[in-house]
Amino acid sequence: MRILVIGSGGREHAIGVALSRSAHAPELFFGPGNGGTAALGTNLKLDLDDPARIAHWARQYEMDLVVVGPELPLVNGIVNILGVYGIPTFGPTAAGAEIEGSKWFAKEFMQRHGIPTGSAQAFENETEAAAYIETSGAPIVVKADGLAAGKGVTVARDTMTAHNAVRACLEGEFGVAGSLVVVEEFLEGPECSLLAFTDGTTVAPMVPARDHKRALDGDEGPNTGGMGVYAPVPDVDAATRDAMIDIMKRTVAGLAADGVTYRGVLYGGFVLTSEGPKVLEYNARFGDPETQVVLPLLQTDLVDVMRATVEGTLAEVELTWSGDAAVSVVLASEGYPGGYEIGRPISGIAQAEAIDGVTVYHAGTALEEDGTLVTHGGRVLNVTAVAPTLAEARERAYEAVGKISFEGMQYRTDIARAAAGEA
């Protein structure tokens, strides 16, 4: 069996590790992959902007399954194109991925289907947006409608910040993604990510996870792609989890009612408000770094789960979870999420992975011609530990972090601290 995983981050490395544990022993290919995926299979120089070429390649080399990691190719319809070539592909079609590709599409969808979320309005005009902001007051959230690589969201604590964010969007800071701007209610409460496999009918939820989006300890500093994550989330009780699962099921049913058979991973980004969980956003894919803590807890063969998702037979597969906890700490380049240098040699990964339960997923690494592993991105490594409790997982993860070094390495020291019961 041959599987191609599209993408190059820690998420794709974690998917690759989970697939490599399958009883089907698949031969793995990564496009383009990273320094970590090179140890699991073959990295290919694929151009993600050219899905037809990827489809030709996948047919020529007889891929049994293609797994799409990132949102951009999904929103651009890679699953539709691979489908035309008859290649089984894990991920939603463009119509399904729009739930992530357009914030306003997602809001309208939720409003139409009675799915709990914050109130919102979309604007192409600064004056109208300004009037709405003045009426609503702060705090308030301003979002570029389209994909902006995680940078198009401003949580405005005062109305002036909100007005400036609207202007920046409409004046082109995020290109065409910001030509429509969504202004929405600020939801108060802790966040929680719930990912689910779905074949368009059956929804199979994963273990809830919590990302740490700010760069610095204590949730200070600028927003990032995520600096660490843990699963499960102790403050999510059974009733809250059930409420989130119910929303996920209603989402998939709502899409089906709108004529979209959504297959792949649906990611619900929730805020746990005093009125119950509300949807902050949807993503049409595995979360990054959530995947790095969720998939290590999955005991069911991931190949079977993915094939059933693609074939529409997910009801026949039972997902089982280990019952352990997982913590992942992101090691980032100096300067991230701003500008950073690449090409800095990395050491200590083998020593880190010698610790029981530890796996180091590569997010932004590359192998030089002489085999030296170097930094190649803002987020470089995801040091992940699995253990019976969050406290033990956290301890092991940070022990492993202590073994790794590269020039300018930065990381948060408080990932999962409160959840593990530490002050």
Closest separation in Å from C-beta 281 to ligand GLY: 8
Closest separation in Å from C-beta 267 to ligand GLY: 7
Query: Helix 126-136 to helix 159-170 angle, to the nearest 10 degrees?
Result: 160
Could you identify the residue written with the tokens 């996870």? 209
Q: Round to whole Å and give the CA distance between 292 and 91.
A: 18
Closest separation in Å from C-beta 100 to ligand GLY: 9
- Which lies closer to ligand GLY via its Cβ, residue 98 or residue 290? 290
Tokens of 413: 């020291």
DSSP label of 15: H
- Which lies closer to ligand GLY via its Cβ, residue 118 or residue 225? 225
Q: Round to whole Å and give the CA distance between 423 and 419.
A: 10
- Which lies closer to ligand GLY via its Cβ, residue 9 or residue 178? 9
Closest separation in Å from C-beta 211 to ligand GLY: 4
Closest separation in Å from C-beta 24 to ligand GLY: 27
**Contact in structure between 157 and 138 (CB atoms under 8 Å):** yes
- Which lies closer to ligand GLY via its Cβ, residue 224 or residue 375? 224
Q: Which residues of 57-69 are buried (b: 16+ CB within 10 A; e: fewer)?
A: bbeeeebbbbbbb
Tokens of 16: 């690759």
- Which lies closer to ligand GLY via its Cβ, residue 283 or residue 309? 283
Closest among 18, 17, 23, 19 to 37, alpha carbons compared: 17
Closest separation in Å from C-beta 423 to ligand GLY: 26
In 49-102, where does DSSP find H-type helix? 51-60, 71-75, 78-84, 94-101
Closest separation in Å from C-beta 208 to ligand GLY: 13
- Which lies closer to ligand GLY via its Cβ, residue 288 or residue 324? 288
**Binding interface with ligand GLY (CB under 6 A):** 211, 226, 283, 287-288, 290
- Which lies closer to ligand GLY via its Cβ, residue 290 or residue 324? 290
Closest separation in Å from C-beta 60 to ligand GLY: 32
- Which lies closer to ligand GLY via its Cβ, residue 55 or residue 419? 419
- Which lies closer to ligand GLY via its Cβ, residue 26 or residue 70? 70
Question: Concatenated DSSP letters for 350-391?
Answer: HHHHTSTTEEEEESSEEE-TTS-EEE-SSEEEEEEEEESSHH
Q: Which amino acid is at 262?
A: Y
Neighbour tally for 160: CB within 10 Å: 11
Closest among 184, 202, 209 to 280, alpha carbons compared: 184
Closest separation in Å from C-beta 184 to ligand GLY: 17
Tokens of 244: 């989130």
Closest among 11, 67, 68 to 34, alpha carbons compared: 11
CA angle 414, 419, 420 (to 5 degrees): 80
For strands 210-211 and 214-216, give the pairing: unpaired
**Contact in structure between 363 and 34 (CB atoms under 8 Å):** yes
